[in-house]
Amino acid sequence: MKYAPLVATALLLSSCGTLPEPFYGNPGAAGARLAVPPPPVLIVPTPTGALLSDDAAKLYAGDLASALVAADVPSVAKPADKADWQIITTAHLSNGSVIPHYQITGPDGKTYASQDGAPIAQAGWANGTPDMLNQAATTDAATLAKLLSAVNASVQQSNPNSLENRPPRLFITGVTGAPGDGDNALTLDVTRALPKLGVELVDKPAQADFIINGIVTTKPDANHQIMVEIDWMINDSNNRKIGQVTQLHDLNPSDITPYWGDVAAAAANEGASGIHEAVQNATLKKPSVGK
């Protein structure tokens, strides 16, 4: 029995970069107290106290929302409702320059963070030209994304149900495509292996942070052997793919038909290690203070 090296591919999506989870519909218990249902995006209202004309203020809100999206923070420029997380933009004069000011406000009306933007020439800001507004929004969005990341970290760290404070919960949908008793054997063995690595298995997808699905494909190989590929697909609770673990095993037909036996146990233990690594990477790469 010959094993090719396991390949663990962590597909880093929005929740793994600068995206604050409260703004992606995953605020946890603390966030749920702030808004039901959880808001999916950060709202950018048209500023009314930013020393801009009405048209320029509307244009700036759109530019800022677009720049935040480019920085992996789902954002929409529109009027905010009480249930929304929002960013309120104002501005003041200082030594001949305009200083934009940003305030992150939660659905409870609380200000969670605030920050000044980069200084802008007073004349340029007053003219409100599209290029100048877009440049200002793009410049400030980069630092605002980090500020939002810190806000999220604070919310998550104070929430006992956050992944920062408990083991990840996994739901195993099962394995399909394996010859012999492989579907049942691999499913059973991976459910035995994963809890040993510090994760918690749950009975329903709605209870899970991550959903694991195994897919097996086979094809004839040299020397009358079979090349077996096992792909463990890892999605988060919003059905976003966060990783894939691929195993390639060069096996004799008698190793997997009619019974997988020890082969299933070995493959499941190896696969569980890769799954654990992908889940850990996704969890650790969620936003954190100072990142």
Distance CA 120, CA 73 (A): 24
Check whether 160 has a pLDDT greater than 50.
yes
Q: For residues 2-16, b (16+ Cβ closer than 10 Å) or e, as one string?
A: eeeebebebeebbbb
Q: Is the pLDDT of residue 189 over 80?
A: yes
Domain boundary among the residues 157, 182, 210 is at 157
Please say which residue of 157, 177, 201 terminates a domain. 157
Distance CA 52, CA 90 (A): 9
**Same domain assignment for residues 121 and 147:** yes
In a domain, 244, yes or no: yes
Please tell me whether residues 58 and 95 are part of one structural domain: yes
* H or E stretch covering 243: strand 241-251
The pLDDT value recorded for residue 164 is: 65
Average pLDDT over residues 96-112: 92
**Whole-number pLDDT of residue 151:** 84
Structure tokens that stand for 213 in this block: 């699905």
Please compute Rg for the chain using Cα positions.
25
Q: Is residue 231 part of a domain?
A: yes
CB-CB neighbours of 109 under 10 Å: 8
Check the CA dihedral 82-83-84-87 and report its sign: positive
Flag whether 291 is in a domain.
no
Q: Could you report the per-residue pLDDT of 111-135, keeping only the tens digit for each?
A: 999 999 999 999 889 888 999 999 9
d(CA 231, CA 42): 35
Q: What is the pLDDT of residue 21?
A: 41
Backbone angles phi, psi at 34, to 5 degrees: -85, -30
Do 122 and 183 lie in a common domain?
A: no
Cβ within 8 Å of residue 280, ≥6 positions away: none
The average pLDDT across 195-222 equals 94
Q: Residue 146 belongs to a domain with what CATH number?
A: 3.40.50
Contact 187, 214 (CB under 8 A): yes
Question: 217 and 174 in one domain?
Answer: yes
CA 71 to mean position of chain CA atoms? 13
pLDDT beyond 90 at 259: yes
SS3 85: strand
Name the residue with tokens 């850990």: 280
Range of the domain at 64: 21-157
pLDDT digits (tens, 9 = 90+) for 33-83: 333 333 458 999 999 999 999 999 999 999 999 999 998 888 999 999 988
Q: Which of 93, 127, 157 is the last residue of a domain?
A: 157
Q: Is residue 63 part of a domain?
A: yes
Distance separating alpha carbons of residues 49 and 89, to the nearest angstrom: 7
Residues whose CB falls within 8 Å of the CB of residue 236, separated by 6 or more in sequence, listed in order: 15, 209, 210, 211, 242, 282
Per-residue pLDDT reduced to its tens digit, 223-254: 889 999 999 999 998 888 889 999 998 999 99
**Is the predicted pLDDT of residue 23 greater than 50, yes or no?**
no
Neighbours of 24 (CB within 10 A): 22
Do 137 and 264 share a domain, yes or no?
no
Average pLDDT score, the chain? 83
- Total count of domains within the chain: 2
* pTM > 0.75: no
Inform me whether the pLDDT recorded for 7 exceeds 70: no
Flag whether 1 is in a domain. Answer: no
98 in the same domain as 176: no
Helix (H, G, I), strand (E, B) or coil at 216: strand
- Supply the pLDDT for residue 206: 92
Same-domain check for residues 149 and 172:
no
Do 201 and 140 have their domain in common? no
**Domain match, 63 and 91 both:** yes
Percent of the chain predicted with pLDDT > 70: 80
Is residue 242 a part of any domain in this protein? yes
